[in-house]
Amino acid sequence: MNIPKIIRRYCPKCRTHTEQKISIYKAGKRRGSARGERRHAERKHGYGGQKFPKLAKPAKVTKKVTPLLTCSVCKKKFNKCGIRIKKFELVAA
Ligand SMILES: [Zn+2]
């Protein structure tokens, strides 16, 4: 699916339509020292093996892509609703 790099859209901060740049949201790097990660490691310790089901095969064939909009006037970033697409491409429109 082709996604335009720049769109004209309503900015809730500027309260008017502005040009907004689209990039794709990427999850940050996982920290091993984060609370959830430490808890997971703790629970996997000792007798009993794997505590959480490992996905044998994923239920979905596609991944959600979240467009991240950046207002060119106020530089504020907004997340758009994620869409399930197999392949995407940012195109100049
Ligand atoms: Zn704005």
* CATH assignment of the domain containing 2: 3.10.450.80
Q: Has residue 10 been placed in a domain?
A: yes
Name the 3-class secondary structure at 21.
strand
Q: Has residue 20 been placed in a domain?
A: yes
For residue 45, what pLDDT is reported? Answer: 87
8 Å CB contact between 9 and 20: yes
Q: Has residue 53 been placed in a domain?
A: no
Q: Has residue 22 been placed in a domain?
A: yes
Q: Has residue 56 been placed in a domain?
A: no
8 Å CB contact between 88 and 24: yes
> Structurally, how many domains does the chain consist of?
1
Per-residue confidence band for 20, with pLDDT thresholds at 50, 70 and 90: very high
- Of the CA atoms within 13 Å of residue 25, those in its CB half-sphere come to 16
DSSP conformation class of 76: -
Per-residue confidence band for 50, with pLDDT thresholds at 50, 70 and 90: confident
Q: Has residue 15 been placed in a domain?
A: yes
Q: Has residue 17 been placed in a domain?
A: yes
State in Å: Cα 6 to ligand 1 middle. 14
Domain limits for position 1: 1-26+62-93
State in Å: Cα 79 to ligand 1 middle. 13
Enter the pTM of the model. Answer: 0.71
